[in-house]
Amino acid sequence: MFKKILIYTGYTLLLAALSAYFFFSYKLEKSESDKVVCKRIDISILDSTVNRFVSREEIGELIREQGITAGESKIKHINLHELENMLNNRTAVRVSHTNYNGKGILFVKIEQRRPVLRLETENGGFYLDDSGYIFPLVKTFTSFVPVVTGNIPLSIVPGYRGRVKENKEWCDQILALGKYIDKNELINAQIEQIDVDEKGDLFIIPRIGQHEIAFGKPDNIESKFKKLMAFYEHIIPNAGWDMYSTINLQYTDQIVCTKRDIKNTKTINKENT
């Protein structure tokens, strides 16, 4: 019985000693970490080869405006949550990630927004990114994406940032169109402008050729572009780029082409191309 008491007492003392050790180690480590100065700020901009809406210099300046300076600021005084909120509020920043290590290095990673379309409205130009977020053009960089012009059915005030609430269905459709174009390298290289007429029909202006493409409503996207690719693969090699003034993709299983030099229309069945 006495032996069991000794063993129990020994375990209790050992546990108490370990607890005291970890407690004082933690206090010592915390005391040391409280003294750690931010030695360096490591800023990385993801996808900077594609989009350059923000630069390391700009982000560095924003961080300094928050009172965070390498060589002076203590790590314990840096509120990462507030820093991320400030950075995320920048126009073209999709999300920021911040953390620091025990050596006093503050890491800042910036993910930029990725536009798929540019909207030219009566209140200025805006980008529509791949998540459906709208933000104003950036003076320091231009993203070469298809430009949507004409009767855009969105009420966007100058400087607007966010997602639309009115005419969301149209916005979702035009976003789906932009994302489809963005993912298809050949189509993306060919499309320069998308004009919206008063009825809401889309007319695509290509980069190469003197024709326009009557796309109609922003629906049946994949089917219409398959017909357009069939036209480019099977008709253009024989007819050339400038024979037709209009390529109409709105008819089921047909491509209706209007010649430029004479007012004549040629209908091409899709199954025959």
Judge: domain 40-112, CATH 3.10.350: no
Q: Mind listing the pLDDT tens digit for each residue in 160-210?
A: 999 998 889 999 999 999 999 999 999 999 999 999 999 999 999 999 988
Q: In the prediction, which pLDDT does 29 show?
A: 42
Q: Mind listing the pLDDT tens digit for each residue in 38-70?
A: 999 999 999 888 889 999 999 999 999 999 999
**What CATH number should be reported for the domain whose range is 115-272?**
3.40.50.11690
What tokens were used for 104? Answer: 């006093």
Q: Mind listing the pLDDT tens digit for each residue in 7-40?
A: 556 566 556 555 554 444 444 344 445 678 999 9
pTM: 0.79
How many angstroms separate the CA atoms of 143 and 115, rounded?
7
Q: What is the DSSP string of 150-186?
A: E-------TT--B---TTHHHHHHHHHHHHHHHH-HH
Q: Mind listing the pLDDT tens digit for each residue in 62-103?
A: 999 999 999 888 988 899 999 999 999 988 999 999 998 888
Domain limits, the chain? 40-112, 115-272
Q: Mind listing the pLDDT tens digit for each residue in 135-169?
A: 999 998 999 999 999 999 998 999 999 999 888 99
How many angstroms separate the CA atoms of 66 and 260, rounded?
61
| pLDDT at residue 251 greater than cutoff 80 | yes
